[in-house]
Amino acid sequence: MDHMEHTQVADELRNARRQAQSRRQVEKGEVLYASEGSQMVKSRADAEVDKAQVQLRKAQNARERALQAERKLLFDKIKSKAKEVNARLIAISKPQAKAKAMVRATLQAYKKRFSSVIFKAMK
């Protein structure tokens, strides 16, 4: 008998909770509780937020791709200019290297020529 009282009390509590909830008649004739309605609104809002986040990610990805393309063009231009400058430096340095080698050879020749004269004068 004690068990029956617990189930009856539980039934009464459930019925009281149901009656306390706000109910509205839906167009199709079903009863819609306020908690179900708020859950539906939350799920719609969550779906809208998810859509907005996806659109934001797409826009960010497109922006990043555009920036990468700009950077690639800039780096390619820098690379080609660096190659041009390097080629010019090599072209300029070859004659200078030849001139330096000629100056060194001339100085060595003068040292050989005049070293004997200098040593003779020192003695």
Q: What whole-number percentage of the chain has pLDDT above 70?
A: 68
**Distance separating alpha carbons of residues 55 and 121, to the nearest angstrom:** 93
Return all residues near 32 (Cβ < 8 A) that are at least 6 apart: 23, 24, 25, 26
For 89-107, how does the pLDDT look when each residue is reduced to its tens digit (9 = 90+)?
Answer: 777 767 777 777 777 788 7
Look-up of token digits 């009282």: 5
pLDDT band at 21 (very low <50, low <70, confident <90, very high): low
| E strands present in 1-123 | 23-25, 31-33
Angle subtended at Cα 41 by Cα 39 and Cα 45, rounded to the nearest 5 degrees: 115
For 47-97, how does the pLDDT look when each residue is reduced to its tens digit (9 = 90+)?
Answer: 899 999 999 999 999 999 999 999 899 888 888 888 888 888 777 767 777
**Distance separating alpha carbons of residues 62 and 88, to the nearest angstrom:** 39
